[in-house]
Structure 1
Amino acid sequence: MSTPYASAAPYYARYRPPYPAELYALLVDRFALDGSQTVLDLGAGPGTLSLPLAPLAEHVYAVDPEPAMLAEGCGLAEEGGHGNISWLRGDAAGIGRLCLPRIDLCVIGGAFHHMDRVRVPADLDAVLAPRGGIAVVTSAAAAWPAVVDEVRARFLGPGHPAAPGAVPGPAGGRADGLAGGPAGGLADGAADVDGAADVDGAADTDELRDTEDHLAKSAFSRVETTTWERSVRYTVDQVVGLQFSRTCSSPALFGDRKDAFAAELRQALLDHCADGTCTRTVTVAATVATRPRR
């Protein structure tokens, strides 16, 4: 049986916007990435971080519990000629069982908020090189037009987590990444950490503080967060595709009503957006944690 994580995978791979180039410039600067390093992407999803990092590293280990996410990433890697990525099924609770070599950088998307945030840094302490570190990358975005939730509620019910007025689930969603949750990702998911991570609403400062606090109490106590804000324009078809990339509205949840939902949402968006596009502000945050200098 298809899970929300599995059915969301192709839409996640196709429609999730990439992280800004400034993020990778920051990682190159902080970790001296010159093509000779080994990178671990924990809660990799379809490789939102792994694929851009591949040209900057000697090898990337992309780890996620959802086979469908790994399959999407593997296909994209083949298309892009990135032969230096190993796609491994696993979760954040099993870092020690992955038999990894010494790692120079571990990147984690929004799935970090669905992981054991005490255990994961402790486990990474055993595999990260002395000058290595962790980069937790998350994104938050302004809400879609209200018609999106209204149409979804008509199909999935008013009590659905993404319905207007519903109480939100843990930190946004799938965490589209990995987290030890149901085979899908980073647990990367539940509401929408669909991963890569993309949380509807304003940037979640509570989550950022939580990330910083947990890392500051770990062996990687030298912590700094950098943010970037940009305006992103989406076509109506992209908005529809992005809804299917979320575990709270993945194709598996609609069953044979998926196409009807897509058609109704597309029309509602066209009625709402005169020029056929929607624009929203997206904020990306990178929290970099390294061991204190001696």
Structure 2
Amino acid sequence: MDSWEWDETLFAGTAVHYGTGRMPYPQGVADAVRDALGLDGTGRLLDVGCGPGSLTVLLAPLFAEAVGVDADPGMIAEAKLKAPGIHWHCMRAEQLPAGLGTFRVASFAQSFHWMDQDLVAERVRGMLCPEGAWVHIGATTHRGADTGEPLPLPAPPWDAIDALVTRYLGPVRRAGQGRFPQFTKRFEEDVMPRAGYTGPERIVVREGRIAERGEDEIVAAVLSLSSSAPHHFGDRLPAFEADLRALLRDAAPDGRFAERVHDVEVVIWRP
């Protein structure tokens, strides 16, 4: 992927912040996937780049068995705590099929852009049964939509938060031990047909909900990002968190915020 290589520190230390800092996927995502694919509780799910299992756990009831794989050991550790009944594997997507068998659905949620996309698309296609499907979930879960609408509580001051991160880490976005790669994002429109898939079918799940979030949730959201993962700050992490909390208290002295939850896009490809 244009000189991009996986860095095992990419999400180091972020997993413990996901449960608090990331807004959950709405039940409507599972309902949309179920209805589009006619799922009936049989077959197997493979969630690739599963993180701490946020999507895996939501979709698992639609299948007889669910498997999650992620390259970050911290993510898999959190996933095992969340749902010990699901089969979790710490491995890179590029290592598939890894003897995991055949699946009805392979899902990717905010993860495919970190992978060797052509290789992963080809290998996963060979793991799908004839009636199977690849499901990509496109969402922003660490922050809400900037709609400019009146809200019942102050919106998190994301511009000021971004400026604070830049003050500590510099203007170039971090990624692992280096910088965020400036590769061309090929994504499904180019990769999937080349790998032999047909589609796509696109479904927008309109959440429409206003979420109330606390100070701790916003702090965790920032620290859940690869670009502001805790290890980037080194021994300056306590100072950064203190400055972040001061910024948030200035915006909302009681530490309570509100923001509009983003819509979620479900994209389905067939092998």
Residue deviations 1:19-53, cap 9 Å, x none? 11111011112233222210101111110111112
How far apart, in 1, do the equivalents of 2:83 and 2:215 lie? 27
Structure 2 letter corresponding to 1:284: V
Secondary structure of 2:162's aligned partner:
helix
Match of 1:219 in 2: 196
Secondary structure of 2:40's aligned partner:
coil
Secondary structure of 2:234's aligned partner:
helix
Residue deviations 1:197-231, cap 9 Å, x none? xxxxxxxxx97x94234324432212111123434
Structure 1 letter corresponding to 2:162: D
Whether the aligned pair in 2 keeps the contact of 1:35 and 1:58 (CA below 8 Å) is yes
Residues 50 and 256 of structure 1, relative CA distance in 2, 3 Å threshold:
same
Structure 2 letter corresponding to 1:126: G
Identity over aligned pairs, percent: 29
Q: 1:241 Cα deviation (Å)? A: 0.8
Structure 2 counterpart of 1:154, from 134, 148, 167: 167
Tell me if 1:252 matches 2:231: yes
Match of 1:285 in 2: 265
Structure 1 counterpart of 2:67, from 38, 61, 68: 61
Instruction: Pick which of 210-219 and 259-268 moved more.
Output: 210-219
How far apart, in 2, do the equivalents of 1:103 and 1:237 lie? 38
Match of 1:272 in 2: 251
CA RMSD of aligned residues (A): 2.7
Structure 2 letter corresponding to 1:94: Q
Structure 1 letter corresponding to 2:68: A
1:1-294 alignment to 2 at 5 Å?
Answer: 3-78=9-84, 83=85, 85-96=86-97, 98-140=98-140, 141-142=144-145, 145-156=158-169, 158-161=170-173, 210-229=187-206, 230=208, 231-273=210-252, 276-291=256-271
Residues 265 and 280 of structure 1, relative CA distance in 2, 3 Å threshold:
farther
Whether the aligned pair in 1 keeps the contact of 2:168 and 2:233 (CA below 8 Å) is yes
Whether the aligned pair in 2 keeps the contact of 1:4 and 1:251 (CA below 8 Å) is no
Secondary structure of 1:118's aligned partner:
helix
Residue deviations 1:241-270, cap 9 Å, x none? 100101111111222332322222122122
TM score, norm. by length of structure 1: 0.74
Whether the aligned pair in 2 keeps the contact of 1:212 and 1:287 (CA below 8 Å) is no
Residues 221 and 13 of structure 1, relative CA distance in 2, 3 Å threshold:
same
Structure 1 runs (4+) greater than 6 angstroms displaced: none
Whether the aligned pair in 2 keeps the contact of 1:31 and 1:105 (CA below 8 Å) is no
Whether the aligned pair in 1 keeps the contact of 2:107 and 2:134 (CA below 8 Å) is yes
Whether the aligned pair in 2 keeps the contact of 1:236 and 1:278 (CA below 8 Å) is no
Residues 245 and 150 of structure 1, relative CA distance in 2, 3 Å threshold:
same
Instruction: Pick which of 108-117 and 265-274 moved more.
Output: 265-274
Secondary structure of 1:148's aligned partner:
helix
How far apart, in 2, do the equivalents of 1:216 and 1:118 lie? 10
Secondary structure of 2:121's aligned partner:
helix
Structure 1 letter corresponding to 2:173: P
Report which structure shows greater RCO (CA 8 Å, sep ≥6). Answer: 2
TM score, norm. by length of structure 2: 0.80
Unpaired runs of 5+ residues, structure 2, are 1-7, 147-156
Unpaired runs of 5+ residues, structure 1, are 163-172, 174-181, 184-188, 192-205
Residues 155 and 278 of structure 1, relative CA distance in 2, 3 Å threshold:
farther
Whether the aligned pair in 1 keeps the contact of 2:112 and 2:187 (CA below 8 Å) is no
